[in-house]
Amino acid sequence: MDLSVVILVEMLYAVASLVLISAGLAVVFGMMKVINLAHGEFMMMGGYATITAVNLGVNVFVAMLVVAPITVGLIGLVVERLVIRHLYGRLVDTMLATWGLSLFFIGVATMIFGNTTTGISTPIPGFSIGSYQINGYNFFIIVVAIALVIGMLVILKSTRAGLIARGTMQRSDIAAALGYSPDRIYMATFFCGSALSGLAGAVLAPLVGLVPTSGGAYIAKAFITVIAGGPSLVAGLLSSAGLFGLVNQIFTFAISPVIGEVALLVSAVILLRLLPQGVTGKFFKGKL
Amino acid sequence: MQDRMGKDVLMTLVVAGLLIWLLPQLVSTYTLTVLIIYGMLGFSLGLIWGFGGILCFGQAAFFGLGAYTYAIAAINIGESTLPMIIAILVPAIAALLLGAMMFYGRLTDVYLGVITLVVTLILFKFINSTAGPQYMIGTARLGGFNGIPGFQTLNVPGDPDAYIWGDAYFYVCAVIMVLVYLLVSALLRSSFGRIAVGIRENETRMSLMGYDVAARKTILFAIGAAIAGLAGALFANWGEIVTPGLFSLGQSAEIIIWCIVGGLGTRSGPILGAAGLAYLKFALGQQSLIDNTLITGLILVLFVLFLPKGLVPAISSLWKVSFARRSPSRVHQARRIRNRGRANG
């Protein structure tokens, strides 16, 4: 009984962390068809922003939920204006340029923070269920992920800004003819996507030792989840994160964590071979 | 046509001969050897990406596979000729299987990228976790993140005690590189190569003309993997150790950067890009003022923004422009056209 509760929580946690990791990339890719390979580094910078803010005496939750997203969002804004703006519609070129950016940011972070591991302790204590110990912070991550998905749905579906953003995503020329500047909307979208990446990096920062290269651990997973999700933003994200999180945890519990990771990757290959347009290319078509 | 081919081969041999004679006087052969190996690795991606239009994010997988296959086979067999051949075949077969899965499933661009990336990651994660003694292939322990040291390095075929190393190894690598270059040139001149370029330009058109696009892409992909595997085996001989770092994402990224900087769709571009950037990295590694990765990243961003075609095409078009100016007949012609335009206007 206790074990099944623990496994359930772990599975929810795995799905939630995949949602968190991929949300920023999903917004940028789903809306703008830009694959931001510097996404992992945006997360890394979110982590560093949190740690720096905490060391300066800011409350840890304020640092994670406010300081990090805004900092990374602003960095994303600069990146969009300087680089990405010139490359819209050239998928491969944006991938290469953002890959270059990711290396650039790793270099900058190494120069500023050094090539050493830094970290903060988790702000929520663990507790035990029966004879098992559970990390209390896992629940915080699950709550943040749920809030994030609901927030995205509400903003995209029921606000005017979301409507305009969705319209621009479908036909930027019509949006322009109706008097909205696609350029500005893209800029705002990229800001939101970067801020989400920063938030994810900040929330996950207490769980990992942060080094300048730790973005690399996220980017592949985020990339796979978003591509396997397909064209729909929220439905795609949820379905692929759910599937991969489940597969990962089943194999982790049955065999070992390494096999769990490998199983996730193998299932991604099989999924893409069967559904080359991603999950939502076939199911939930036309949903958000 | 025959004449142009002969000229091309002759040019290649002359330039290669000059470089092989000149470069060792400027740079140590130890460094040059690895530059050649990287050049070959860049060349393998340049072939499938620049001429076949297949953007593979996991060329490092085949490089690493070649290196590991060589190391494992060399430990088991105890000499180097057969392991070299196996190290070319294993990545090629792996690429045939992977390519058939991808191309017959009609996967393109981003999805292709994701799958090749994922396969690289799987290999990386798997090899990294093989530290325990239960992971053995024959008598070779896989060694996890420590890699495999202490295998038989390249020897004269038939004589396992006559090692080829140092300067001699440099010349062997250089000759292999020239041979690979000539073979690929011949391949690109053949109908297979021309059809591959046709597929790159417009896949639908080629399939409507009756060519089996999937099969051709798969074969080209396997040829690229074989070259990458050869480079991997040579690298294993050079470094005398193989580590999981060969499979890493960073390695894959570098190969793509080499191709972009050197110039896609050219034969020499990826080789020069690889050797040049690898040397730059080597030179930058000797200073500690600015981080190495930062500069690599900056180079990639700047090239994508300002010189997306790469160095070699840019230089050759510059060469053509200046060459045309010098030729009197063309200047004359251009002036005549301009004058005619003025008269009409």
Residue B53 lies in a domain: yes
Q: Say yes or no: B267 and B333 in one domain.
A: no
Which of B245, B259, B268 has its CA nearest to residue B182?
B268
Answer with the one of B218, B241, B272 that is the final residue of a domain.
B272
Of the pLDDT bands very low, low, confident and very high (cuts 50, 70, 90), residue B335 is: low
The pLDDT of residue B316 is 86
The dihedral over CA atoms of B119, A193, A123, A56, expressed in degrees to the nearest 10, equals 120
| Cβ atoms B310, B264 nearer than 8 A | yes
Q: Is B113 found in the same domain as B61?
A: yes
DSSP string, A154-219: HHHHHSHHHHHHHHHHH-HHHHHHTT--HHHHHHHHHHHHHHHHHHHHHHHGGGS-B-TTTHHHHH
Got the DSSP string for A118-132?
A: B----SS--EEETTE
Residue B16 lies in a domain: no
- The CA distance from B94 to the nearest CA of chain A, in Å, is 15
Residue B342: predicted pLDDT: 47
Q: What is the pLDDT of residue B344?
A: 45
Chain A residues in contact with B293 (beta carbon < 8 A): 103-104, 106-107, 110
C-alpha distance from B297 to closest chain A C-alpha (Å):
4
Q: Find the closest chain A residue to B289 by CA distance.
A: A111
- For chain B, say whether A200 makes contact (Cβ under 8 Å): no
Q: Which residues contact B269 (CB under 8 A, 6 or more apart)?
A: B46, B50, B259, B262, B263, B310, B311, B312, B313
Q: Show which of B214, B240, B272 is a domain's final residue.
A: B272
Q: pLDDT value at position B345?
A: 37
Mean pLDDT of chain B: 86
Is B91 found in the same domain as B224? Answer: yes
Tell me, yes or no, whether B198 and B63 share the same domain.
yes
Task: Please tell me which of the candidates A111, A216, A272 has its beta carbon nearest to residue B115.
Answer: A272
Q: Are residues B113 and B217 in the same domain?
A: yes
Instruction: Identify whether B5 is part of a domain.
Output: no
What number is the average pLDDT over the span A129-145?
A: 83
Specify the number of domains making up chain B.
Answer: 2
CB pairs under 8 A between A and B: 118
Is residue B101 located within the same domain as residue B160? yes
Contacts of A216 in chain B (CB under 8 A): 249-250
Give the model's confidence band at B338: pLDDT under 50 very low, under 70 low, under 90 confident, else very high.
Answer: low
- Pairing label, strands B241-242, B148-149: antiparallel
Q: Stretch B84-112: mean pLDDT, rounded? A: 89
Least confidently predicted of A58-67, B139-148, B334-343: B334-343
Please, which contacts does B286-292 make with residues 24 or more away whose CB atoms are closer than 8 Å? B290/A107, B290/A111, B291/A106, B291/A107, B291/A108, B291/A110, B291/A111, B292/A107
pLDDT of A217 higher than 80:
no
B307: closest chain A residue by CA: A93
Tens of pLDDT, residue by residue over A17-33, are: 999 999 999 888 877 88
Q: Please say if the pLDDT value at position B332 is more than 70.
A: no
Q: Does A255 touch chain B (CB under 8 A)?
A: no
Q: Are residues B155 and B35 in the same domain?
A: yes
Mean pLDDT within B101-126? 83
Assign B184 a pLDDT band (cuts: 50, 70, 90): very high
Q: Which of A250-259, A264-273, B329-338 bottoms out in mean pLDDT, i.e. has the lowest?
A: B329-338
pLDDT in tens, B21-73: 888 888 888 899 999 999 999 999 999 999 998 988 889 999 999 999 999 99
Is A103–B111 a contact, with Cβ atoms under 8 angstroms apart?
Answer: no
Does B56 share its domain with B137? yes
Whether residues B345 and B223 share a domain: the answer is no
Does one domain contain both B268 and B321?
no
Interchain contact, A276 vs B111, CB within 8 Å:
yes
Distance from CA of A222 to the nearest CA of B (A): 11
ipTM over 0.90? The verdict is: no
Residue B300 in any domain: the answer is: no
pLDDT at B330: 53
A106 CA: distance to closest CA in chain B (Å):
7
Q: How many helices (H) and strands (E) are present in chain A, helices listed first?
A: 12, 2
Check residue B232 and give its pLDDT: 95
Among partner residues B109, B125, B299, which is closest to A91 by beta-carbon distance? Answer: B109
Beta-strand pair B140-141/B148-149: unpaired
Q: Which stretch of A119-128, A170-179, B159-168, B206-215 has the lowest confidence by average pLDDT?
A: A119-128
B215: pLDDT strictly greater than 80: yes
Domain span at residue B100 reads 29-252+263-272
Q: How many CA atoms lie within 13 A of A107 on its CB side?
A: 18
How confident is the model at residue B298, as a pLDDT?
87
Chain A closest-CA separation from residue B93 CA (Å): 18
pLDDT more than 70, % of chain A = 99
Question: Does B215 or A218 have the greater pLDDT score?
Answer: B215
Rounded Cα distance, B338 and B314, in Å: 26
**Residues from B in contact with A at Cβ < 8 Å:** 55, 101-102, 105-107, 109-111, 113-115, 117-119, 121-122, 125-126, 129, 249-250, 253, 256-257, 260, 290-305, 308
Mean pLDDT of the region A173-201: 91
Q: Taking all residues of chain A, what is their mean pLDDT, rounded to a whole number? A: 87
State whether B118 and A269 contact (CB < 8 Å): yes
Contact B293 A106 (CB under 8 A): yes
Measured between CA atoms, how close is B256 to chain A, in angstroms? 8
At B244-282, the pLDDT tens digits run 888 887 788 889 889 988 988 899 999 999 999 888 888
The pLDDT assigned to B341 comes to 47
Alpha-carbon distances, residue B304 vs A83, A84, A97, A99, B47 (angstroms): 9, 11, 6, 11, 20
For residues B70, B73, B79, B82, the Cα torsion angle rounded to the nearest 10 degrees is -80
Q: Are residues B48 and B154 in the same domain?
A: yes
C-alpha B250/C-alpha B205 separation (Å) is: 36
- Residue B134 banded pLDDT, cuts 50, 70, 90: confident
Determine whether the interchain pair A272/B114 forms a contact, defined as Cβ–Cβ distance below 8 Å.
yes
Same domain, B54 and B175: yes
Work out the pLDDT band at A287, boundaries 50, 70, 90: low
Residue B267 lies in a domain: yes
Q: From the list B105, B113, B122, which residue is nearest A276 (CB)?
A: B105
Which residue in the set A108, A261, A266 is minimally distant from B294, CB to CB? A108
